Amino acid sequence: MDPVLLRSGCRAQRPTSFSVVVAIDFGTTSSGYAFSFSNDPEAIHMMRKWEGGDPGVANQKTPTSLLLTPEGAFHSFGYTARDYYHDLDPEEAQDWLYFEKFKMKIHSTSDLTMKTELEAVNGKKVQALEVFAHALRFFKQHAVQLKDQCPSLQEKDAIRWVITVPAIWKQPAKQFMREAAYKAGLVSPANPEQLLIALEPEAASIYCRKLRLNQLIDLSCKPVANGLAPELSIDSSFRQAREQLRRSRHSRTFLVESGVGELWSEMQAGDRYIVADCGGGTVDLTVHQIEQPQGTLKELYKASGGPYGAVGVDLAFETLLGQIFGEDFIATFKAKRPAAWVDLTIAFEARKRAAAPFRSNPLNVSLPFSFIDFYRRHRGQNVETALKRSSVNFVKWSSQGMLRMSSEAMNDLFQPTVSQIIRHIDDLLKKPDVKEIKFLFLVGGFAESAMLQHAVQSAFGSLCRVIIPQDVGLTILKGAVLFGLDPTIVRVRRSPLTYGVGVLNKFVEGKHPKEKLLVKEGKNWCTDIFEKFVSVDQSVALGEVVQRSYCPARLGQRKIIINIYCCATDDVVYITDPGVRKCGTLSLELDEVDEPTCPKSRRREIRASMQFGDTELKVAAMDVRTSKTVRAAIDFLSN
């Protein structure tokens, strides 16, 4: 039986009661925030330039690095945390709790709960919820300084917060971010609507609607080559854009179109495009179609992707070091000299950014002195000797104390991650729902890489126009602000999974298996039937609700708890089928009713309304007889 989809007017754009939207782009490798005042929505203000910062990087984001004291108290976040940790005495550093790239743990943990733990660089464990709350609290404290610019922010509910997450994250991970925000004091659980969870590629898509032609680089428009490989022009046009961004990075206000940008005005109703969000941790693909005249967006295929972000290149570098110096040595060095290890990863990061497909000269990665010294003490030989003896080609020792990596060696580090991204985009383009794509927008921090740009343009440039927004690493952040100003812009989404509950149906001989037979009060029932709320990849519009009625089993019952099941396919019949798992619980809190006034013939009926068309699954419920609201909640973290 298909779920009843009803139009509820509850999602009409309500008058905005908040005076500012603050969006936090909480990334795997770097994070940032931006804000906009609701009375001036065309201006998006970026955070101020961060303290610290690396040469050659536009520092409107800061590393997602957190430092806690040996006692577990908050010390610092971002460049400050990284630099302070780096300057600690090696022995002392072993007691401090330093976390980086910890967002990936939330993606990779299959049984995420409020008790899930994260491991600091020194091996000590802390509850993940604590770590995320510390980071969000840091952004809150930064952002609340906006009060100087806007006196009306004294009111507690004047800020609407937006936190970005990958679209491929499952419901438990989204709920986890919300719980961390409650713990950090961004909003109160009593006002959940004050916090929006934005999906990263969706935010990028919303921002791309506003692009002017001078704010994007079209990789498909290659000028006639003057004896240069045409691909080099990609790199140089990107350098010009980067230079422009660098010059303007002290002016922190970006103006966006009040309507849609020039690229968009070329598009007709029904035009389709892909947003490939290539970040530090994940690649996240979304397909949107434009609905005219209102300019809203409709998702055409459920979000897809996987853990194939820029971190994959770092892991490949770590593997390479293991091949040269021994995996056991690298593990010992990381444990005993954690700050020097961080130093080495920073040195590699700078070289990684400089890697380009047609580069002929080698890239030098400087090894920290403590690495060279530690190796000599542990192995009784020099780093240079290890390189000569290793079977690794294309990596040599330079007399200046550096690893000399040939362009082939660098290509090899990028290859596995880049080819996974290409494969994912290719798989998506083969889906029947994803035909006639006009544009492919490449966004996210990894999209700055000339290696990835070249690979995507080579693979798909003949099928669609490959477009890169000029400030590609900030696209999601700006889009998240726009989403906070108007969350109704994405009108239709696709359900990532099939959701439903287990019910009893009349037992039908020959149709239902014998082991599912349950005899109750003389009637034959079939147990474990999977009753669907919504199917995988089903289109669900904002404001559409799926309604179900539940009756308490006995008088005086104060709580109804219903298990929710999910599955990645649509052909599911029983909750015991392979691939079906219990993913959450729906709980309904019932008030006491005046029993004598409630006739036995009329069983109490609680009607639950679930919304699947938003970025998070939402539920509301009411007592049909009294029309009173019933407290309802869906929990995906208590499994």
**Average pLDDT for 277-282:** 91
Q: What is the pLDDT of residue 184?
A: 96
Residue 13 has pLDDT above 50, yes or no: no
- Alpha carbons 11 and 17: distance in angstroms, whole number: 15
Q: What is the pLDDT of residue 426?
A: 95
Of the listed ranges 31-45, 140-154, 229-243, 316-330, the least confidently predicted one is 229-243
User: Average pLDDT for residues 6-13, to the nearest whole number?
Assistant: 34
Beta bridge partners of 357: none
Task: Name the band, by pLDDT with cuts 50, 70 and 90, for residue 5.
Answer: very low
pLDDT score recorded for residue 262: 67
What would the DSSP string read from start to end of 215-239? GEEETT-PPPPSSS-THHHHHHHHH
- For residues 290-296, average pLDDT: 80
23 has which bridge partners?
Answer: 34, 162
Torsion of CA 35, 40, 44, 49, to 10 degrees: -70
**If you average pLDDT over every residue of the chain, what do you get?**
84
- What value does the mean pLDDT take over residues 424-450? 91
Query: For tokens 């990645």, what's the residue?
Result: 568
Is-above-0.75 flag for pTM? yes
pLDDT score of 234: 42
Average pLDDT over residues 570-586: 93
Both tokens assigned to 512: 């239902």
Average the pLDDT over 401-427 and give the result. Answer: 92
Q: How far is 626 from 276, CA to CA, in rounded Å? A: 49
CA distance 511 to 218: 58
Q: How confident is the model at residue 68 (pLDDT cuts 50, 70, 90)?
A: very high
In DSSP terms, which residues pair with 100 in a beta bridge? 65
Report the alpha-carbon distance of residue 1 to residue 613 in Å, rounded: 20
Residue 547 in this model has a pLDDT that exceeds 70: yes
Radius of gyration, alpha carbons of the chain = 27
Task: Tell me how far apart the alpha carbons of residues 208 and 511 are, in angstroms, rounded to a whole number.
Answer: 52
pLDDT digits (tens, 9 = 90+) for 499-508: 999 988 899 9
Please provide the size of the chain in residues: 639
Residue 227 has pLDDT above 50, yes or no: no
The pLDDT of residue 49 is 59
H-helix or E-strand spanning residue 460 = helix 450-460
Q: pLDDT at position 534, please?
A: 94
pLDDT reported for residue 90: 80
Q: Which residues contact 208 (CB under 8 A, 6 or more apart)?
A: 261, 263, 264, 275, 441, 443, 467, 469, 475, 479
Angle at the Cα of 331 (from 326 to 337), degrees rounded to 5? 115
Distance CA 592, CA 598 (A): 11
CB 276 within 8 A of CB 469: no
Which of the two residues, 398 and 568, has the higher pLDDT score? 568
Q: Which residues are CB-neighbours of 613 under 8 A, at least 6 positions away?
A: 492, 493, 540, 541, 542, 543, 544
